[in-house]
Amino acid sequence: MYSTRIYYQDTDAGGVVYFANYLRLFEKSWFEYLISLGTSLPEWEKMGIYVLIRTAFVDLREKLHYGDIVNITTSIKEVKNAYFVLTHAVSKNGQATTKGEIKMVCVDKNGKPKRLPEDFRNRLLAALDSPRTSPGIK
């Protein structure tokens, strides 16, 4: 689980989180989640392996406001040869506020689809439907 506070920069003129900023929250959570699995995307990029978001889905159920502290839980939903799907659940005070899903694809430096590295794919499969803890505000 990744925890953070909602900052002024995350909100719109109405003082609630701007819809696109949920994707930023998801990104921070999935980045920490992949680190918890032993994966360093910056190291992969040095080897010409990239992970890109193919599709993103956000289901806004309850508004979040400036100053709220939220938890984002990320888990693996699906693992294939060249892509994987992550789910995200945002909660405030133990109550679900937002759900999301992101499909991430593996590509080479030219943007061509590439198989997930076998060790990484195996770690994803082992973590399937198993949320992990990642750092953030306590």
Burial of 91 (0-12, 13-18, 19+ CB in 10 A): middle
138 within domain boundaries: no
Query: What is the model's pLDDT at position 44?
Result: 87
> Has residue 137 been placed in a domain?
no
- Cα separation, 119 vs 130, in Å, equals 18
**103 within a domain of the structure (yes/no):** yes
Best CA proximity match to 21, nearest among 8, 2, 33, 34: 8
Q: 88 with 134: CB under 8 angstroms?
A: no
Query: Does residue 133 sit within a domain?
Result: no
Residue 12: active-site member? yes
- Parent domain of 88: 2-127
Residue 132 maps to a domain: no
The residue-averaged pLDDT of 78-94 equals: 96
Domain-located, residue 74: yes
Q: Per-residue confidence at 129, pLDDT binned at 50, 70, 90? A: low
User: Token digits for 84?
Assistant: 């994987």
Residue pointed to by tokens 């980045």 = 31
Q: Is residue 135 part of a domain?
A: no
State the DSSP code for 111: S
pLDDT of the residue at 20? 95
Task: Kindly name the residue from 12, 68, 119, 129 that is annotated as catalytic.
Answer: 12
Q: What pLDDT does 130 receive?
A: 61
Of 10-14, 68-72, 80-84, 132-136, give the lowest mean pLDDT range.
132-136
CATH of the domain at 81: 3.10.129.10
- Does any domain span residue 79? yes
pLDDT at 3 over 70: yes
User: What domain count does the chain have?
Assistant: 1
Task: Name the percent of the chain lying above pLDDT 70.
Answer: 93
Among candidates 20, 16, 27, which has minimal Cα distance to 92?
A: 16
> What's the pLDDT score for residue 110?
93
- 34 is written with which tokens? 């992949």
